[in-house]
Structure 1
Amino acid sequence: MKNFILMLAVFLVVISCTNNTLPKPKPYLKLQYPEASYTTFNSKCPYNFEYSKGAVISIKENCWASIKYPKLKATIHITYREINNNLDEILKEVEKLTYEHTIKADAIPNALPYENFNKHVYAKLYNVEGNVASNIQFMATDSVKNVLAGSLYFYTKPNYDSILPAVKYIEKDLIHLIETLEWK
């Protein structure tokens, strides 16, 4: 019996010392973005809004703005237009720019509308799904004098699956920008 136990122990040691290679599971990158905090953008332009403290804003003489996210390598380009009895023309132009992405887009779901009657802010936010140059477009107006339009661009080759977390993060900032927009 002693010999049997000794043989069994040797056998178990020999079997347990094999180098079986097991496949490792694919690792997934976990992106963590900072908590959103905002600051007010005040200028000589006919509008004010709040933007992310993690972004850098620059303004041109014609009240066009760029909100840059250096860590995400992204920029929101904002254009300002004054209405001169041409609101329909301006809104069609903005919508045309959005729907030019349909060539590459997988989908452009219905626009997310926003209305604030007290502040006279009426806006739409478009999500453009797929490998497109600009995944978010928006426009806001007071329907009398002012129109703001904006587009989000990344400084990278469009790969929707890869940039989607950053798109969703910046989308929250854009919604906040629209909700805090005020006309002067």
Structure 2
Amino acid sequence: MYNRILRYLIAVFILVITTSCKDEVLPKPKGYLSLEYPENKYKSLELERPYFFEIPTQSITVDEKNNWLKIKYPNLKASIDITYRPVENNLTELLTEAEKLVFKHAVKAEQIIPRDFVNEENKVFGSLYEITGNAASHLQFHATDSTKNFIKGSLYFYAKPNYDSILPAVAYIKSDILKLMESLEWKE
């Protein structure tokens, strides 16, 4: 009987020692990337187009057919794809098509936030759409003079969409898109 009590006390002692000396387990805090982006500097679009605007100096401009354009951000693995279409009594069709492309992302989007843009002086009227969530494109915009010219732009990343990871890059490129829209002028 003495052996049985001794074994019981040793077992209890080992159990108490192994379970009571641990540090308290706490959940790890969320980690965020500490990314540094270059200061936004701009230059004039050097390609001959029916439109003009300023583009980021750290970007690469790719000339495409039909006055289309690709503004690449190699360090961010992203691009702004810009399409141009002349307005030929089809403005409603062009606006409808642009909005369809935005709301095509509604399946994966958490929210689509529109922002209208009006520059009476340069005859630039358009909208910027911020698409939150794991959509393929997080920023889309269109602009027109309502009579002759229409452009549409979309931001794409060359990676699987993970909104939380690319959110800082989206915010950085958004300021470039706003500068593009603010400096947009139509050539006569």
TM above 0.5, one fold?
yes
Structure 2 counterpart of 1:133: 136
| Off by >3 Å, runs of 4+ in structure 1 | 19-28
Deviation at 1:20, TM superposition (A): 7.6
Instruction: Give the TM-score normalised by structure 1.
Output: 0.85
In structure 1, how many angstroms separate the alpha carbons of the residues matched to 2:33 and 2:90?
Answer: 47
Work out which of the residue numbers 31, 40, 43 in structure 2 matches 1:39: 43
Q: Residue type of the partner of 2:159?
A: T
Identity %: 48
Question: 1:87-166 residue pairs with structure 2 within 5 A?
Answer: 87-109=91-113, 111-166=114-169
- 1-structure distance, mates of 2:38, 2:88: 41
Deviates more, 1:111-120 or 1:70-79: 111-120
Distance apart, 1:44 and its partner CA: 2.2
Does 1:181 find its partner at 2:184?
yes
Tell me, in whole angstroms, the C-alpha distance in 1 between the residues paired with 2:172 and 2:39: 10
Contact 1:42 1:49 in 2 (8 A): no
Counterpart residue type for residue 130 of structure 2: N
Q: In structure 2, how many angstroms separate the alpha carbons of the residues matched to 1:118 and 1:101? A: 33
Could you say what the CA RMSD is over the residues aligned between the two structures, in angstroms?
A: 1.6
Deviates more, 1:52-61 or 1:139-148: 52-61
How far apart are 1:105 and its partner, in Å? 0.6
Deviation at residue 21 of structure 1 after TM alignment? 6.3
Letter in 2 for 1:125: L
Deviates more, 1:152-161 or 1:56-65: 56-65
- The unaligned stretches of length 5 or more in structure 2 are 1-20
> 1:168: which partner in 2?
171
Match of 1:64 in 2: 68
- So what's the TM-score if we normalise by structure 2? 0.83
Q: Structure 1's 89 and 162: CA in aligned 2 closer, same or farther, altered over 3 A?
A: same
- Deviation at residue 32 of structure 1 after TM alignment: 1.3
Give, in angstroms, the shift of residue 121 of structure 1.
Answer: 0.5
Q: Residue 34 of structure 2: SS of its match in structure 1?
A: coil
**1:24–1:97 CA distance, 2 compared to 1 (3 A):** closer
Q: Deviations over 1:77-114 (max 9, x none)?
A: 000000110000011000000001011111112x1111
Aligned counterparts of 2:72 and 2:32: Cα–Cα separation in 1: 27
Q: Name the count of aligned residue pairs.
A: 165
